Amino acid sequence: MKRVKKVIDASVTKGCLLGTGLILAAAGVVFPSVSESQSQATAESARTASPIKHVIVIVGENRTFDHVFGAYRPRGSQTVSNLLSKGIITDDGKPGPNFSRAAQYTAVANDPSRFDLSPGSRQLYPVLPAPNTGFVNTSASDTSPPPFATLAMATAVEGNSLEPQDLVHLTTGASGLAQQVPDTRFGANTFNLPNGPYQISRVGPNYDQYMNSPVHRFYQNWQQADCNVSHATPGNPSGCRMDLFAWVETSVGAGSNGKSQPAGFNDQTTSEGSTALGYYNVNTGDMPYFTELARKYTISDNYHQPVMGGTGANSIMIGTADALYYTDGHGNATTPPVNEIENPFPQPGTNNWYTQDGYSGGTYSNCSDPGQPGVGAIRHYLDTLPYHPKANCASNTWYLLNNYNPGYNGDGTVNTATFTIPPSPVPTIADSLLAKNISWKYYGEGWNTFVSHPSTSVYCNICNPFLYETAIMTNPALVKAHMQDTTDLYADIANGTLPAVSFVKPGGLLDGHPESSKFGLYEGFVRKIIDSVQKNPALWASTAIFITTDEGGGYYDSGYIQPVDFFGDGPRIPLIVVSPFSRGGRVVHEYSDHVSIVKFIERNWSLDPITRRSRDNLPNPVQLPLDPYVPVNAPAIGDLFNSFRFDRRDDGGSDDGHSDANGGHGGFGWWPF
């Protein structure tokens, strides 16, 4: 499969419910009853360090910042770091004067005794490998969408999640081509793409078409970034050149699953080609709603996925500010089955075809041991960085790096399916909120059907960080109170009963994931939520809505990466902050990642870091005006407070001409800290 199936297979055998009291006692956590929590939550939730009383975090799928905003021009005299500002492209999507800065290399990595993080033997592509159709559907169908063949069926399935003007986009955009072939929607350019980023909607497919999905796995993402301190410059001190995207796509793709390299292997065998180099152009009509939000509210051009790789590990980090590890099911770290251990060493006789990796293969590494496959190369690179970031890998612990099913099903039973991470003892931000009686919910589209009929649900199980956690999932009352569907979200917004902290996840058809969704559908999903909140003036007046993606999906990005530990950071991803207190079409440059949302919640509600080792212990960055993207106190990540102007309410119409590029907190003087 191109990517992990995001619903639990109907054949999963459901395990026994663990003893709630034993689990909570083992974790050292004592929660009040749900009724007690509800009676206390309103008062506690209102005690905040800012005027924000409600945070809504909406998480789409798989797009980098340059892929979305690579051609964005900010208002006034502000600056932004993207393809356009660097001269890599022009406004109309053509190669710019500095196009060669994003050129991609083909490389050689055929030593079966090592993982080549930054291959020395390489040469420039003369032209990019042809993009591939992957598993995009050839035609519309009501029985195997997307897209749907009829608007009636699209409305029946998603009418509660989209406004009428957006539903039609569920019926358009099929490729008209066979699967896993060169994508000739690009016409004469298919086999002649210049070596660098190309505008998807300029040379063939429009913004409303379904497109292929590039590889987005852990060791692949590290290798695509091509990080080497010998490449370091003052503006890029980590030395990550981001120039091996197409090569990794075509040499290993989404993984070997432990199988031998197919016969007749070429640059189309992985069904990707140069998909990773595609981007959209806001100047030619792409991304219309998100562009409108960016020009009215706040965006960050220095917000990152926290983990190299894909959905699972990055979604977990939103809840834990940490990585999960393989256990015996009772909270004790132990060694996973051998076929679930990552080995990115190339198989003998191949150029970079990993030995064990894939959705039905390796996804754990013991990163405390530099002798483990792939680990040594990353650990050595971290050690060469001038600020020497800690790997943050506990001894003899095998960490989840990619996508495996959570340890629990929606009904609270243990998930015993193969390629499932066992129940996790790692605390989450939910525990911090519960301990202080701060109200919260995780709203996932399709939750109700996921609980009762998981094989038919659009629900993303690997996206819910709380579905992995024993302390939450073994307490049926907590699950009922805090795990809900998006239909409950709209009801809570309308009724004025929205909790202090809301995590929101669209289903697989609307999450914007390439191949199975379109980013315009994610725009539509977000539009309905924002419109609903703004229809409730009292709620809107005290709400901040953070709009992002789980990770970059393997797409190219030109931004700086700050390694903070073994797991990442990874490339930049979009972040839009919508609030009456956001900064009027501003671009903020403070270095941040998903854990910054956790830090915002903790600062706003006066919570301690989740654990002693979690990333929310890192300091806020100090960034100098001459280079507002690189923290001089690395590793450091921000708390997103500088995305707001709390000294005045701003609905987006003003532009005061000040960017606070160094992450300062001007105008924050009137509320208690």
**pLDDT band at residue 19 under the 50/70/90 scheme:** very low
Three-state DSSP class for residue 362: coil
**pLDDT band at residue 584 under the 50/70/90 scheme:** confident
Q: Can you tell me the distance from the alpha carbon of 148 to that of 295, in angstroms, rounded to the nearest whole number?
A: 32
**pLDDT band at residue 41 under the 50/70/90 scheme:** low
Which DSSP helix (H) or strand (E) runs through 418? none
Q: Domains of the chain, with CATH numbers? A: 20-68+283-321+399-643 (3.40.720.10)
pLDDT in tens, 511-531: 999 999 999 999 999 999 999
CA atoms within 13 A on the CB side of 623: 27
pTM: 0.91
CB neighbour list of residue 142: distance below 8 Å, 6 or more residues apart: 148, 149, 150, 153
Q: Can you tell me the distance from the alpha carbon of 178 to that of 300, in angstroms, rounded to the nearest whole number?
A: 38
Q: Can you tell me the distance from the alpha carbon of 312 to that of 308, in angstroms, rounded to the nearest whole number?
A: 11
Torsion of the alpha carbons at 42, 48, 53 and 55, rounded to the nearest 10: -110
Return the bridge partners of 565, or none.
Answer: 568
Name the token pair of 282: 């806001």
pLDDT at 465: 98
Mean pLDDT of 91-107: 97
Q: Can you tell me the distance from the alpha carbon of 63 to that of 69, in angstroms, rounded to the nearest whole number?
A: 10
DSSP assignment, residue 662? T
User: Over 60: is that where the pLDDT of 25 sits?
Assistant: no
**pLDDT band at residue 627 under the 50/70/90 scheme:** confident
Question: Could you tell me the CA-to-CA distances from 283 to 69, 92, 201, 287, 527 in Å, in that order?
Answer: 10, 7, 11, 9, 20
Which residue has better confidence, 25 or 613?
613
Q: Can you tell me the distance from the alpha carbon of 215 to that of 3, in angstroms, rounded to the nearest whole number?
A: 8
Residue 647: count other Cβ atoms within 10 Å of its Cβ.
13
Name the token pair of 581: 């207190």
Q: Can you tell me the distance from the alpha carbon of 622 to that of 590, in angstroms, rounded to the nearest whole number?
A: 9
Q: Can you tell me the distance from the alpha carbon of 6 to that of 448, in angstroms, rounded to the nearest whole number?
A: 15
* E-assigned strand segments in 201-277: none
Altogether, the residues listed in the chain come to a count of 673
pLDDT in tens, 270-328: 999 999 999 999 999 999 999 999 999 999 999 999 999 999 999 999 999 999 999 99
Lowest mean pLDDT among 36-45, 454-463, 573-582, 585-594: 36-45
Alpha helices in 329-409 (DSSP H): 375-384
CB neighbour list of residue 74: distance below 8 Å, 6 or more residues apart: 80, 585, 586, 587
pLDDT at 352: 97
User: Over 90: is that where the pLDDT of 36 sits?
Assistant: no
Q: What percent of the chain has pLDDT over 90?
A: 85
Name the token pair of 387: 């600020």
User: Over 70: is that where the pLDDT of 485 sits?
Assistant: yes
pLDDT at 229: 96
Name the token pair of 176: 């008209």
